[in-house]
Structure 1
Amino acid sequence: MSEKYDSFYSELTLDLLRHPKKISEVPITCVFVHPTETPAKSDVLCVGWNLTNACRDATRHAELVAVDRYTTGGACSDDVAIFEGAGVGKGKGKEDEHEDEDEEEDEEDRAMMKRRGKAEDLKGSTCYVTIEPCIQCAFALRKIGVKRVVFGARNERFGGCGSLIDCSRAEFCKDGREGYEVDFVEDSNAVDVLRGFYGRENMSAPESKRRKKGEREG
């Protein structure tokens, strides 16, 4: 795949980061696409971003939200999120003092969210994601049958594409699957997102379980 192609879709995942940030969600995003000669948003099969806090569900990572949107219309993600719009536009209860300057892009993103198909349509696709998929998602991508995964930052704590274990290898388990190609294309923006992710305080956690910044740095 050409560098131009990878750059286009990797940049798109970074552009999508504004949606999870609007609802104070973990800022990780992804897109699924089948290779074509010229990259375009119209070729995107589905998009996703983390909704673990919005859905109160630890499995609602970007990759699984994207698949859920594509196959069920968001029955297990957007439909059960406590924030209206699941991060596209204003979230429920979130005040915005300024007019949304991204409305045109939001409409394009809503269109990508609404694309529908069957799980088998994702077989052979490429998944572009800002951060290396965790073990859960890396194995799910294997079961889906993606051909390639491209990410911009390593996930040293939970990475399932080589950092902790490598679910992409055909020999990872005896399930008869071929596995998939993994490309790490380091992106400083994605790295910054990962650092922010691990440095943040989870406001959805119980008070007794929160790791205060002072306690982490002290």
Structure 2
Amino acid sequence: MDHVKINNTSICCDKNENDEKQLKIINESIEKESRKQYYIKTVEELNETERQELPNHCKFMEAAIDEGHKALKEGEVPVACVIVHKGEIIARGSNKTNIKKNGTRHAELEAFDQIFLNKELNDRFKDSLLEECDLYVTVEPCLMCAVALQLCKIKRVFFGCHNDKFGGNGSVYELNFSPISNGRPYNCISGLLKERAILLLQLFYNQENKKAPVPNKRKRLDPEELKKEMLKISETSSSNQLILNISENLGDVKEKV
């Protein structure tokens, strides 16, 4: 018998049976072990001790949402994140796929680059830094980023709203559990400031895209309804003024509908 080790889990297998069936059995065994140690939870599923930390988590998600508003002004899909090490934000990132004309420049990878290019941080922590870090991102990481998070050995991921088409942390696949060579599974908490994260996306998809071809029929959100939703959310938001400023500009959108 031989031992295969993935995600720090050792599995016994027959060295001579390197076929697809054997590999599937190994992967299923590893994923089963991962699920015993790691989880995907909603905010509502947090226990009492975990709930006591929610104010701090919300503070960091607020910072990610602020980065999302900056991306919105740049014409990018407003997905953004911050990376936190022991209570301190050490990197910020937002979607740059349009600006850099590169479909891989998602918020998470932009934030990682800030860390990898920071000589002081790398000299100080070597390869262990991200193992002690939490990621706060407005939208569930896509499949690509979910795998990258494993390879970087991130500690935890907090996200706002789900990514129904490409989500790698529960919506499409649960890649934080999956057996990835040289990777490490991580915990996920979803639904943190979910309404704020959804609102950011609504603002983006409801605006006029001057470069887009004229469609036969375009379904858009009613600007008045969107404005009401923004005002409702702003009552409990620390970014009230920014939201109110955007809502005042919705009159221009209404005229184009």
Shared fold per TM-score greater than 0.5? yes
Secondary structure in structure 2 of the residue aligned to 1:194: helix
- The one of 4, 11, 28 equivalent to 2:79 is 28
What residue number does 2:171 align with? 163
CA displacement at 1:202 relative to structure 2: 6.1
| 1:50–1:34 distance in 2 versus 1, CA, 3 Å | same
The sequence identity of aligned pairs, in percent, is 33
What residue number does 2:54 align with? 3
Aligned residues: 165
Moved more, 174-183 or 8-17: 174-183
Q: Report the AA paired with residue 17 of structure 1.
A: G
What residue number does 2:160 align with? 152
Q: Is the 8 A contact 2:134 2:158 kept in 1?
A: yes
Structure with greater strand share of residues: 2
Answer yes or no: is 1:46 the counterpart of 2:52. no
Q: Is the 8 A contact 1:201 1:213 kept in 2?
A: no
Q: Report the AA paired with residue 58 of structure 2.
A: S
Q: Report the AA paired with residue 83 of structure 2.
A: F
| 1:176–1:140 distance in 2 versus 1, CA, 3 Å | closer
Q: Counterparts in 2 of 1:120-199, with a 5 A limit?
A: 120-169=128-177, 172-175=178-181, 177-186=183-192, 187-197=194-204
Q: Which protein is bigger by CA-based radius of gyration?
A: 2
Answer yes or no: is 1:57 the counterpart of 2:102. yes
- TM norm structure 1: 0.66
CA displacement at 1:150 relative to structure 2: 0.2
Secondary structure in structure 2 of the residue aligned to 1:168: coil
- The one of 219, 223, 239 equivalent to 1:217 is 219
Q: Report the AA paired with residue 54 of structure 2.
A: E
Render the CA deviation track for 1:66-91: whole Å, top value 9, x for unaligned.
11122126xxxxxxxxxxxxxxxxxx
Secondary structure in structure 2 of the residue aligned to 1:56: coil
Secondary structure in structure 2 of the residue aligned to 1:47: strand
What residue number does 1:83 align with? none
User: What is the Cα-based RMSD across aligned positions, in Å?
Assistant: 2.6
What residue number does 1:69 align with? 114
CA displacement at 1:161 relative to structure 2: 0.4
Q: Report the AA paired with residue 14 of structure 1.
A: I
| 1:175–1:26 distance in 2 versus 1, CA, 3 Å | same
Distance 1:202 1:154 in 2: 24
CA displacement at 1:7 relative to structure 2: 1.0
Secondary structure in structure 1 of the residue aligned to 2:139: coil
Runs of 4+ in 1 over 4 A off after TM superposition: 196-203, 210-214
Moved more, 120-129 or 24-33: 120-129
Q: Is the 8 A contact 2:72 2:204 kept in 1?
A: no
- TM norm structure 2: 0.57
Distance 1:116 1:201 in 2: 41
Render the CA deviation track for 1:150-203: whole Å, top value 9, x for unaligned.
01100101101010001101xx12525330000012421101223445566766
